[in-house]
Chain A
Amino acid sequence: MSGGTQGRAVFSAETAADRVVPPTGFTARLTLFAAAAMAFLAVFALALSLATGRLADRWASELARTATVRISTTQDQRVAQTRAALKVLETTPGIASARALSLEEEQALLEPWFGPAMPIASLPVPQLIEVIEDENGYEAEGLRLRLMAEAPGAVLDDHTRWRRPLVQAAERLRTMGWIALALIAATTGAMITLAANAALSANAQVIRVLRLVGARDKFIAAAFVRRFTLRAFSGAVGGTLLGMLAVFMLPGASAEGSFLTGLGFQGLHWLWPLSVPPLAGAVGFLATRLAALRVLKGLM
């Protein structure tokens, strides 16, 4: 029986090998529980990976196309330098638009920190200019030099300084999520291998008799492979459904705290967890098959 044939036999009705190996209650429950727990964790790791992936993409794309020019100067110079800076920006290739923020907009930006009653007009708050790039982008160093010449109080902030570590952090989180998934798969395989070895040891006499009456290793392995594959699969189905339910019940994403509350699945990403049970079944199949053939090779 080849691996492919054995794979198909796993999902067929009871095989001949199943009938000759007695059921093993404890290892069955252990495998089901382990598979369910691992699938539950896998769903969360998947949600983390996908969410951090979205976050990294969003930060990378949204912030990459915006910049801010900050004009810090005396009140009497403020209007003139703002005008000069806007003129420079309007004539710079790669900039789609540049707009000076109004006092109300600047107040709204500071409101979360200082409250609505802050008298912003009487404070030396710098003038901010919002810059939007076009698809070609601009040359930052050249623009800085021109701004320095035309509006000495203007400082270009292209967000690189704080955007890069944020994107890097999100990308690392995404990588950690995938590593966690790989570790969960490996741990599932290790647990199933242990349970399969226990079942094989418990049935050593049955295996010996089967060998003595002419059973081939693949026939004997088939009984264990089928059982553990189905247990891994059905345990993972339960764990995945519970995991998806738990993710669904997480608080929804909001503008105020999207990093912490946006960890769920979005759109077609809800289909991804459905791959967990078949993968758990595949891990169960391979782990048990390797364990069974290794143990059987030790017998005459």
Chain B
Amino acid sequence: MIELKDVNYGYGGADLLVGASLSLGAGSFHFLTGPSGAGKTTLLKLCYRELQASSGRITLFGQDARDMGRDDVSDLRRRVGVVHQDCQFLDHLSLAENVALPLLVSGHASDPGNLKELLGWVGLGDQAGSLPAELSGGERQRAALARAVIMSPDVVIADEPTGNVDWEMSQRLLQLLIELNRMGKTIIIATHDMNLIRAAKAQVSARVVRIKDRRLQIAGADL
């Protein structure tokens, strides 16, 4: 579904990623790890075309990322649900409106029953009318996950989804992502939380890739 081959990415004369190759097949589960500032978010942004590679080849659902027009990028983002590190909500809209935003922008009608069910799935059924500022960090992350999956995307990308939540909440979010994977979704999670990765590997077959010294490596048995 998403394939990177010998991808380099640089910004302001500095190389942030060198020779990155990665293949995210249908129904796969990947963890992307590495220290802060290693380039995890950069790699994820290349996967939903918020950034363009300096060189190398990125194929997104069979299409070369370089050949994608602006509408193609919009269509891609309807197939890739992203849980952003900072959630990226519209502060003037309610939680329910934020979660239903991908449906609204793509011209699909929002079924109130389905929306309620989705909010219930992430444990936010009673907070549909709340504004983002009124939510806790964990609630915001769960709402971001609900927004990421509302279009039933093929791929879910989560960038440090458990960065601002306690252990119990991170386990809950992980369970939601594992549940999505069991439904056939491709999942990639960027995290530096090794305990989270170990907890996931106990339940699903997950590959772990690590960014070290700007290069992507397959993590070994140390996990």
Contact = CB atoms under 8 A, between A and B. Distances in A.
A126 B70 CA distance: 84
A212 B51 contact: no
A206 B70 contact: no
B219 interface: no
A191 interface: no
A216 B70 contact: yes
B89 A213 contact: no
Interface residues of A, number: 19
Interface string B72-89: 011101100010100011
Interface in B106-164: 106-107, 147, 151
A212 B88 contact: yes
A300 B102 contact: no
Given A300-B50, A300-B51, A214 B70 contact: no
B26 interface: no
A216 B84 CA distance: 20
Interface in B36-95: 48-52, 70-71, 73-75, 77-78, 82, 84, 88-90, 92-93
A16 B102 CA distance: 12
Dominant secondary structure of chain A at its interface with chain B: helix
A161 interface: no
Nearest to B78: A214
A163 interface: no
B104 interface: yes
Contact of A212 (B77, B104, B107): B77
Interface string A196-233: 00000000001011111111110100000000000000
A169 interface: no
Given A16-B104, A300-B50, A216 B92 contact: no
A300 B77 CA distance: 12
Contact of B93 (A20, A212, A297): A20
A20 B93 CA distance: 7
A300 B74 CA distance: 10
Contacts of A20: 90, 93, 101, 104-105
A210 B101 CA distance: 8
B92 A22 contact: yes
A212 B82 contact: yes
B71 A206 contact: no
Contact of A210 (B75, B105, B147, B151): B105
Contacts of B90: 20, 22, 206, 209
Given A20-B105, A300-B49, A300-B51, A214 B75 contact: yes
A295 to B, nearest CB: 13
B77 A214 contact: yes
A294 to B, nearest CB: 13
15 contacts: A16-B105, A19-B93, A20-B90, A20-B104, A22-B90, A209-B88, A209-B101, A210-B105, A211-B77, A212-B77, A213-B147, A214-B105, A219-B105, A296-B70, A300-B51
